[in-house]
Amino acid sequence: MIQENFIKLYEHSFRENWDLPCYTNYGEKESYTYGEVAQQIARLHLLFKHCQLRRGDRIAIIGKNNARWCIAYMATITYGGIVVPILQDFHPNDVHHIVNHSESVFLFTSDTIWERLEEERLTGLRGVFSLTDFHVLFQRDGETIQSFVKQTDTEMEEKYPNGFHREDVVYTELSNDKVMLLNYTSGTTGFSKGVMLTGNNLAGNVTFGIQTGLLKRGEKVLSFLPLAHAYGCAFDFLTATAVGTHVTLLGKVPSPKILMKAFEEVKPNLIITVPLVIEKIYKNVIQPIINKKSMKWALSIPLLDNQIYGQIRKRLVDALGGRFKEVIIGGAAINPEVEEFFHRIKFPFTIGYGMTECGPLISYAPWNEFIPTSSGRVLPRIMEARIFKSNPDDALGEIQVRGENVMKGYYKNEEATREVFTEDGWLRTGDLGTLDEHNNLYIRGRSKTMILGASGQNIFPEEIEAKLNNLPFVLESLVVERDKKLVALVYADYEALDSLGLNNTESLKAVMDENLKTLNNSVAAYEKISRIQLYPTEFEKTPKRSIKRYLYNHI
HEC secondary structure over 512-524 = HHHHHHHHHHCCC
- Secondary structure of residue 102 in the 3-state scheme: coil
What pLDDT digit, counting tens, does each position of 297-326 carry?
878 887 788 888 898 999 899 989 999 999
pLDDT at 555: 62
**Domain 451-552 adopts which CATH fold?**
GMP Synthetase; Chain A, domain 3 (3.30.300)
Report residue 184: phi and psi, to 5°. Answer: -85, 120
Q: What is the mean pLDDT of residues 58-70?
A: 97
Q: Is the pLDDT of residue 191 over 70?
A: no
Question: How far from each other are the two terminal CA atoms of the chain, in whole angstroms?
Answer: 48
* pLDDT band at 456; cut points 50, 70, 90: low
Tell me the average pLDDT across 188-213.
87
**Of residues 446 and 484, more confidently modeled:** 484
Q: What is the pLDDT of residue 255?
A: 83
Minimum mean pLDDT range among 30-34, 144-148, 284-288, 445-449? 445-449
Return the pLDDT at 227: 94
Long-range contacts at 254-262 (CB < 8 A, ≥ 24 apart): 254/224, 254/225, 255/280, 256/280, 256/281, 256/284, 256/285, 259/224, 260/319, 262/26, 262/222, 262/224
Question: Across all residues in the chain, what is the average pLDDT?
Answer: 91
Average pLDDT (8-16) is: 97
Tell me the three state secondary structure of residue 86: strand
State the helix-helix crossing angle for 461-468 and 505-521, rounded to 10 degrees: 120
| CB-side neighbour CA atoms (13 Å) of 516 | 18
Residues of the chain with CATH 3.30.300.30: 451-552
- Residue 250 reports pLDDT greater than 70: yes
Query: Please, which pLDDT band fits residue 449 given cuts at 50, 70 and 90?
Result: confident
- Asked whether residue 72 carries a pLDDT value surpassing 50, the answer given is yes
More confident residue, 291 or 180: 180
pLDDT in tens, 502-530: 878 888 899 999 999 999 998 878 789 99
pLDDT at 187 over 70: no
Is it the case that residue 85 has pLDDT exceeding 70?
A: yes
Which pLDDT band, with edges at 50, 70 and 90, does 3 fall under? low
pLDDT at residue 461 in the model: 86
Could you tell me the pLDDT band of residue 188, with boundaries at 50, 70 and 90? very low
On the question of pLDDT at 1 being above 70, the answer is no
pLDDT at 141 over 60: yes
Report the range of poorest mean pLDDT among 191-195, 236-240, 369-373: 191-195
Statement: residue 539 has pLDDT above 50? yes
1.20.1290.10, 3.30.365.10, 3.40.50.12780, 3.90.1310.10: CATH of 271-323+326-446: 3.40.50.12780
Is the pLDDT confidence value at 436 over 90?
Answer: yes
Omega within 30 of 0 (cis) for the link into 268: no
Question: For residues 16 and 7, what is the distance between their CA atoms, to the nearest angstrom?
Answer: 15
Q: Where do you find CATH 3.40.50.12780 in the chain? A: 6-201, 271-323+326-446
Classified as helix, coil or strand, 357 is: helix
pLDDT in tens, 382-395: 999 999 998 888 77
Claim: this prediction has a pTM higher than 0.95: no
- Say yes or no to pLDDT of 406 above 50: yes
pLDDT grade for 457, boundaries at 50, 70 and 90: low
pLDDT digits (tens, 9 = 90+) for 149-175: 999 999 999 999 999 999 999 999 999
Task: Read off the pLDDT of each residue in 415-427 and give the average, rounded to a whole number.
Answer: 95
What is the chain's Cα-based Rg? 25
Q: How confident is the model at residue 12 (pLDDT cuts 50, 70, 90)?
A: very high
pLDDT tens for each residue of 108-134? 999 999 999 999 999 999 999 999 999
Supply the DSSP symbol for 117.
S
pLDDT of residue 189: 43
Does residue 6 contact residue 77 with C-beta atoms inside 8 Å? yes
- DSSP calls for 215-269: S-TT-EEEE-S-TTSHHHIIIIIIIHHHHTPEEEE--S---HHHHHHHHHHH--S
Architecture of domain 6-201: 3-Layer(aba) Sandwich (3.40)
